[in-house]
Amino acid sequence: MSGFDGGTLARAVVLHVDEMTELTQPDISTTMEPPLSGLVIAVTSGGTGGHMFPAVALSKALVRRGAKVLFFTDARAARYTDGVDGVQTIILPAGGIAGKGLKGRIMGAVRLGIGTLKARSIIKKSKPAVVIGFGGYASIPATMSAKWLGIPFAIHEQNAVLGRANRLVAHAAKRIATSFPTVTQINPNDQNKVIWTGNPVRAEVAALANSTYDVPTDDGPIRLLITGGSQGARVLSEILPTALVNLPEDIRTRLVVTQQARDEDLNAVRKTYDGSGIDVTLASFINDIPERLRDCHLVIARSGASTVAELTAAGRPGLLVPLPHAIDDHQRFNAQQVEEAGGAWLMPQDSFSSETVTDRLAKLLRNPAALTRAAKAAKTTGRANAAERLADMVLDMLGLNPAGTPNAENISKKDQGDTQ
C-alpha cells in the first residue's frame, strides 16, 4: 500500500466505481426503440380535407412512434398524403351513395365493392396491427375489411354527429374517438367505447393553445377573421361587408378585417368596403391562418369540423353561421357544442341579415369582457394535442401504453377534465 494514504485509496475506489457505472449504464436515448417500431398500422380516410387532415396528422404521429403506415384513400384525396415520410398511400375505388339518384347509388355501391375487395386483399397480406378509420365513404373498404378479417379497428368522428360511414361500422369498432365531448347518433350500447380525443389541428394552430387572448382595448384595433371554409362562403361575402360598414363609427374605424371570399366575389366585396375606413385584407385563400387566428379578437365563420377544431384549440371566440344544408345538419350541432360551452355565438343563416349582424356585432365588440369569457370557454371544448391523444389510443388498443391499458370509460372521464 506504499504511496497511498486512506484518502487516496478512497478516491481511487470512487473513481473506479464511477467508471464502471459509466460503462454499464445504457444510453436510453439510443437503445430504446419507439413503441410501435416494426408494426404496420393502417389509416383510412378520403373525400374532403375535413376527413383527411386529422387522418394525416395521426399518420405523422404514428410514424414518429416507429410505425409503418398504410394509408387507404380515394383518388381525389391522395394529394393530402404526398410527400409524407413513412406513409404508403393506397388508392381505392370508392364512391358515396347518399343524396344521389338510383344510377349514382348503384355506381357508388359497385365502386365500394371493388374497393373493399382490393382493401381486403392488401390488408390480409400486410397484416396491420390495427386499422383507424376517419369516416367518409372512402374509409368503408378498409374498416369493413378489418371487421371481416378480425383485425381490431377504431373510428374517429370529426363532427358532433356520427357520420354515416362511421355508423356502418361503429358497432364492431374497438374504440370510437370523438372531436367533441358529446356526439349524437352513437348507439347507447357503444358509449363505453367512446374516447374524447379531439380533432387534430396543424402544429402552428396547436401551439396557440399556450397563447394569451389579446383583449381589445377601448381605443385600440379590433381584429376580425372571416372565413367560409371550403364551401358556402358566399353568404358571408354578401352579408358581412355591408354589416361591418354600417357599424357605428367608433367601432367601424377601429376594425382590422381579414376576409376570405371566392374569387368571383372579391371585386364586389372590395367595392362595399371602399371608403368605409375599415382596414381590410381580402383573399380567396388565407395562407397565414395561424397568425391571423393568434391576433384576432373574433372569428366569424362556418362551423365545419376543421374550423371549429382550430377555433377551440386556439381559444378564440366565434360567431358561427352553420351551413344549413350540411349532411345530418352536422354544422349546427358543431356550433351548438361550442355555444353551450360559452365559447361562441350561433347565428342561423335564415336570420343572418346585415341588420341583425350589425346589431349583434355592435353589442359584442363593445363588450371585451364577454369576448374574453368566450375565448376561455372555447378552449374547454378543444384538444390542442389531439393527434398525440389518438396515437396514445392506438397504443392502448395494442396494450403498449407504458401507463397500462385503461378502459375506454376511464379514458373518457380523465379527458373530460383536461382541456389541454
pLDDT per position as a tens digit, 250-304: 999 999 999 999 999 999 999 999 999 999 999 998 989 999 999 999 999 999 9
Mean predicted confidence (pLDDT) in 153-162: 98
Q: Which residue carries 396543424 as its cell?
A: 202
Domain 40-199+384-416 has CATH 3.30.70.20: no
Task: Compute how many other C-beta atoms are within 10 angstroms of the C-beta atom of residue 89.
Answer: 17
Q: Look up residue 134 and give its amino acid.
A: F
What is the C-alpha separation between 91 and 43, in angstroms, rounded? 12
What is the C-alpha separation between 172 and 174, in angstroms, rounded? 7
What does the chain come to in residues? 420
Structure confidence at residue 121 as a pLDDT band (50, 70, 90): very high
Whether 62 contacts 81, CB under 8 Å: no
**171: three-class secondary structure by DSSP:** helix
Structure confidence at residue 158 as a pLDDT band (50, 70, 90): very high
The answer on pLDDT for 404 being more than 50 is no
Q: What is the pLDDT of residue 194?
A: 97
What is the C-alpha separation between 134 and 375, in angstroms, rounded? 28
- Sequence-ordered list of residues with C-beta below 8 angstroms from that of 172, at least 6 positions apart, any chain: 147, 153
What's the mean pLDDT when you consider all of the chain?
87
- Residue 290 backbone dihedrals phi, psi, to 5 degrees: -55, -45
Q: Which residue carries 392502448 as its cell?
A: 396
Structure confidence at residue 31 as a pLDDT band (50, 70, 90): low
**175: three-class secondary structure by DSSP:** strand
The answer on pLDDT for 406 being more than 70 is no
Q: Which CA distances in Å does 271 have to 236, 240, 246, 250, 259? A: 15, 13, 14, 21, 14
What is the C-alpha separation between 152 and 164, in angstroms, rounded? 20
Phi-psi label, residue 218: left if phi above 0, alpha if psi -120 to 50, beta otherwise: alpha
Whether 55 contacts 28, CB under 8 Å: no
- Element at 35 (helix H, strand E): none
Domain 205-379 has CATH 3.30.200.20: no
Q: What is the pLDDT of residue 76?
A: 87
Domain boundaries, the chain: 40-199+384-416, 205-379
Structure confidence at residue 179 as a pLDDT band (50, 70, 90): very high
**147: three-class secondary structure by DSSP:** helix
Alpha helices in 274-407 (DSSP H): 289-295, 305-314, 330-341, 354-364, 368-379, 386-398
- Element at 255 (helix H, strand E): strand 255-260
What is the C-alpha separation between 25 and 357, in angstroms, rounded? 66
Find the Cα–Cα–Cα–Cα dihedral 97, 158, 303, 326, rounded to 10°. Answer: 10
Instruction: Tell me if domain 40-199+384-416 and domain 205-379 are identical in fold.
Output: yes
- Sequence-ordered list of residues with C-beta below 8 angstroms from that of 106, at least 6 positions apart, any chain: none
Phi-psi label, residue 83: left if phi above 0, alpha if psi -120 to 50, beta otherwise: left
Between 86 and 22, the more confident residue is: 86
C-alpha cell at position 239:
352579408
Mean predicted confidence (pLDDT) in 166-186: 96
